[in-house]
Amino acid sequence: MSKLSKRGAIGLTAFMLASTALSACSQEQAAAPSAKEGASSEAKGLNATGFPIVNQPVSLRFVARKNPQHGEWKDMMVLQEYEKKTGIKVEYEVYPMQNFDERKNLLFASNDLPDAFINSGISAQEQLKYGTQGTLIPLEGLIDKYGPNLKALFEKYPDAKKTVTAPDGHIYALPTIVTQAAARTQKLWMNQQWLDKAGLKAPTTTDELYQTLKKFQEINQGTDAVPFAIDMASATGNMFTNATMRGLAGIWGLPLQMGTSGGIEGGKFKLWYDSDRLKDMLVFLNKLYKEKLLDNNSFTLDIAKLNAMTKANKVGMTFNQTDVGMDTKIFKTFAYPKSSFGDPVANAGAVARDLGSFAITNKNKSPEATMRWVDYFYGDEGSIFLRFGIEGKTYSKDADGNLVYSDQIMKDSRGIQFAIGDMTIWPGAGAPHVINDKNAVAVTTPAIMEGQKKIDAIMPKTVYGAPLMEPAIAEKYSAMTEDINKFVRESVSKFIVDGVADDKWEQYKQTLQKLGIKEYEGFFQKALDSYNK
Amino acid sequence: MNPSRSLARSLVKHWEFYALLALPLAWYVIFQYIPMYGVQIAFKDFNPVKGINGSPWVGLKYFQEFFQAYYFSRLIINTLLLSLYNIVFGFPIPILLALLINEIKGTAVKKVLQNITYVPHFLSVVVVAGMAYTFLHQDTGIVNLLLKTLGMEPVAFMQSPGWFRTVFVSTGVWQEAGWAAIIYLAALSGIDPSLYEAAKIDGASRLRRIWHISIPGIAPTIIILFILRIGHVMDIGFEKTLLMQNSLNAESSDIIQTFIYATGIQQARYSFTGAIGLFNSLINFALLIVANRIARWKSDTSLW
């Protein structure tokens, strides 16, 4: 095993790179001129509007991430139908979610590129890196000419456009665009059954929340149910982007702007890693941990296990965007309680979510047709097609004109998300399309809409996603992100378990300075300034 | 005689042997030596589009970045300590186990014991890590249930930096000791039985016989295996470390390999991690040479 890991360290990268770099040079030269030729000859067979997109069949190779909810991509009804509709034959090279990032990086590193990446989660840094290298082509020109739906969305939601635009003015990848508010926020769900049993009303302050959890513990004495749990094992990267941590931060009024732990006030970006609000939150969590109101196994708990606990009605409170896998007769949504600082905030995701859902590479000989192919999903008609399939077959309209999935899907024993995942690509998030009030009703249940109403007032008006940093600072930014995220993750974990002693907190703040938190903050400020120019 | 002519003559005469040699030689060249060409990315600003040759040289920039990194000293200390514990506990136990099995008279008992101890070797590390999580779970794990019945406080084994190394090394010993003992058993079976008989007649006790016959008999094997082991000091089971790591025990479970994984594979910083990997290999290489020197100096056995 140790031998293997050694090769894994330098050998794997070195070998992959070495063996492929040799062939890459020759491939590149061959591809460059033909791309231009292809473009001109392609334009002839391309229809500017309507279907089919191309008159002569075109074949493309897409690399895709297979979410756990997905069936086999090649058997998905929606993709097969779309192929007939567009005349574009797409061969999907699919990698499972667990090792998709590794695969993606190796494809880029070895220059073994497909025509496009789909459902691919190409990070901001990767977009910039591969975009400026020329591996990913700029899309803004194509959007102007061949992407009417995207163009309209970007005009309506300029912050979405800002989020996906690189500092050099190019757009290298497309996000999922979420215009529905309920799809962007974490709702606070509490176990109504337990509340009734304890004879309590919903907590309105964090002190009341503590009392509620305490009662939850009492009424469940002797069972393995817990008042509250955090899926810390899933809180990788910036731990506050995790659903539960995001919700908790919201209670203490800690905003999440620009994809990180910071807020914007009067054009100034400020990180809150060293704020008193965070300290207060950690003191609170430590109290929960010590009294076992917070599951003491939280640090090895992942999202799948937490969902299983919720499903089994073994947890008293949880943050979740949807009610999937939850019994809504037991779990009800509530307004966020207030901390001693007042003003809670419902940390919403940016309108441009899941950056890097779709990107076109320089190997693609029909970028125009590819843009038309994906743009359809950003319109009403196309997004309904992507999410629901075919009317009469996989969905129908009810009396109010709402879209409902067929009985066969709704009654699938594996759960609706898996049934949908057999026919199309959106379950599990990350597919390039628009999620709006028209096409998301079937998944945004009345319970979710009700929860959204309770937090609508505390939702920030503008939410920026993670910015694309300038190439000059990109590498430093990415190294600092890694170090700071790691340090904060470990420190926060320790504070929750061991308590927040004043000298430890000072030490933590000093180390943050040492890690260059001010400079790091400046990177975001710079990106923000460029938005407001 | 002209040496090159004699080589040519020997080639023609024994071509069958050389043909047999060609395949393994080709394997080494293709899979072990040619890939070393890629090591240069540690000194370059590697850019996949430009390729290895086209990327600009940056000298020791990435080595410097690593040495100045905030986590540098922690990574080195964790890696060294974990490997030290691995050797201190992981290395002698298979020897003791082999001596023990060798002393058992009944063949049936011997076979059963040997099988039971080496079967865990075939388990995937994922399973072993899963077992550790299950058995050491704070509330429902069998170990903590036992502690509770004995009136002791349950311990968060998987969530404390203090316990990480113990759990890591002991699960490693459990999994690998039986397998590693096989080679010693083979060496033990090569010892002339007449030596034992002579000692028995002279009235040597069982422990005396182990001390004066068994151990000297397998000493060369022990030394060679030890030197080989030293050559992999910095390569600790990466997969298992990653599987057992969480934000609470990261203080002691964050090692060079997990750092390389998080930075290189997940963040695609190939040059930086290439430099760290190369640094790692250099330490291994230096330790191997030192261990070999000491072995040659102190005993007659050495790798070269």
Indicate the domain borders of chain B: 42-122+168-298
Clarify whether residues A478 and A422 are in a common domain: no
The amino acid that residue A90 corresponds to is: V
> Does A6 contact B232 at a Cβ distance shorter than 8 Å?
yes
Clarify whether residues A72 and A171 are in a common domain: yes
Three-state secondary structure call for residue B100 = helix
B138 closest CB neighbour out of A2, A297, A478: A297
Residue A445 has pLDDT above 90, yes or no: no
Residue A41 Cα, gap to closest chain B Cα (Å): 26
Q: Are A194 and A217 within 8 A, CB to CB?
A: no
- Measured between CB atoms, does A506 come within 8 Å of chain B? no
Residue A437 has pLDDT above 70, yes or no: yes
Angle at A440 between CA A435 and CA A442, to 5 degrees: 160
pLDDT at B232: 78
pLDDT digits (tens, 9 = 90+) for B7-33: 888 888 888 888 899 999 999 999 989
B247 closest CB neighbour out of A108, A297, A490: A490
Clarify whether residues A527 and A413 are in a common domain: no
Residue A157 has pLDDT above 50, yes or no: yes
Q: What average pLDDT score do residues A511-530 get?
A: 93
pLDDT at A44: 56
Q: Identify the residue with better confidence: B128 or A412.
A: B128
Residue A105 has pLDDT above 90, yes or no: no
For the range A24-30, what are the long-range contacts, defined as Cβ-Cβ under 8 Å and sequence gap of 24 or more? A24/A110, A24/A111, A24/B48, A24/B51, A25/B51, A25/B53, A25/B54, A27/A111, A28/A111, A28/B49
Q: Which helix (H) or strand (E) holds A420?
A: helix A416-421
pLDDT digits (tens, 9 = 90+) for A455-507: 989 999 888 888 888 878 888 888 899 899 999 999 999 999 999 999 999 99
pLDDT at A170: 93
pLDDT at B2: 65
Which residue, A425, A380, A389, is CA-closest to A408? A389
Pull the structure tokens for residue B143.
Answer: 């170990």
Cα dihedral sign, A491-A492-A497-A500: positive
Residue B136 Cα, gap to closest chain A Cα (Å): 11
Position A526 in a domain: yes
Clarify whether residues A487 and A388 are in a common domain: no
Three-state secondary structure call for residue A364 = coil
Instruction: Among A402, A428, A454, give the residue marking a domain's end.
Output: A428
Mean residue pLDDT of chain A comes to: 87
Domain count, chain A: 2
Q: What average pLDDT score do residues A50-57 get?
A: 90
Q: Residue A70 is part of which domain span?
A: 53-176+353-428
Clarify whether residues A192 and A161 are in a common domain: no
Clarify whether residues A191 and A331 are in a common domain: yes
pLDDT at A428: 83
Residue A8 has pLDDT above 60, yes or no: no
If one counts every other C-beta atom within 10 angstroms of the C-beta of residue A221, the result is 7
Residue B231 has pLDDT above 90, yes or no: no
A415: pLDDT confidence band, cut at 50, 70 and 90?
A: confident
R_g of chain A, CA atoms, integer Å: 24
Residue A16 has pLDDT above 80, yes or no: no
- What is the percentage of chain A residues whose pLDDT exceeds 70? 91
B235 closest CB neighbour out of A6, A129, A482: A6
Residue B303 CB partners (closer than 8 Å, separation 6+):
B224, B227, B228, B292, B295
> Does B247 contact A478 at a Cβ distance shorter than 8 Å?
no
Q: What average pLDDT score do residues B230-235 get?
A: 79
Which CATH number is A421's domain given? 3.40.190.10
Which residue, A169, A188, A475, is CA-closest to A310? A188
Position A462 in a domain: no
Clarify whether residues A325 and A368 are in a common domain: no
Q: What average pLDDT score do residues B167-175 get?
A: 93
Q: What average pLDDT score do residues A82-110 get?
A: 90
Position A3 in a domain: no
pLDDT at A73: 94
Pull the structure tokens for residue A341.
Answer: 């600082």
Position A39 in a domain: no
Q: What average pLDDT score do residues B225-250 get?
A: 86
Clarify whether residues A310 and A222 are in a common domain: yes
CATH superfamily of B42-122+168-298: MetI-like (1.10.3720.10)
Residue A47 CB partners (closer than 8 Å, separation 6+):
A53, A54, A55
Residue B242 Cα, gap to closest chain A Cα (Å): 12
Pull the structure tokens for residue B157.
Answer: 């084994």
> Does A486 contact B263 at a Cβ distance shorter than 8 Å?
no
Clarify whether residues A332 and A361 are in a common domain: no
Clarify whether residues A308 and A200 are in a common domain: yes
Clarify whether residues A216 and A324 are in a common domain: yes
pLDDT at A443: 66
- Measured between CB atoms, does B124 come within 8 Å of chain A? no
Strands A116-118 and A58-66: parallel
List helix spans (H) across A271-366: 276-290, 303-311
Mean residue pLDDT of chain B comes to: 89
Q: What average pLDDT score do residues B115-130 get?
A: 92
Clarify whether residues A336 and A292 are in a common domain: yes
pLDDT at A21: 40
Pull the structure tokens for residue A146.
Answer: 């061949």
pLDDT at A18: 42
Residue A34 has pLDDT above 70, yes or no: no
A43: pLDDT confidence band, cut at 50, 70 and 90?
A: low
A14 closest CB neighbour out of B35, B251, B266: B35
Partners of residue A478 in chain B, C-beta under 8 Å: 267, 269
Residue A195 has pLDDT above 90, yes or no: yes
Q: What average pLDDT score do residues A392-409 get?
A: 86
pLDDT digits (tens, 9 = 90+) for A355-366: 899 999 999 999
Instruction: Among A428, A444, A477, give the residue marking a domain's end.
Output: A428
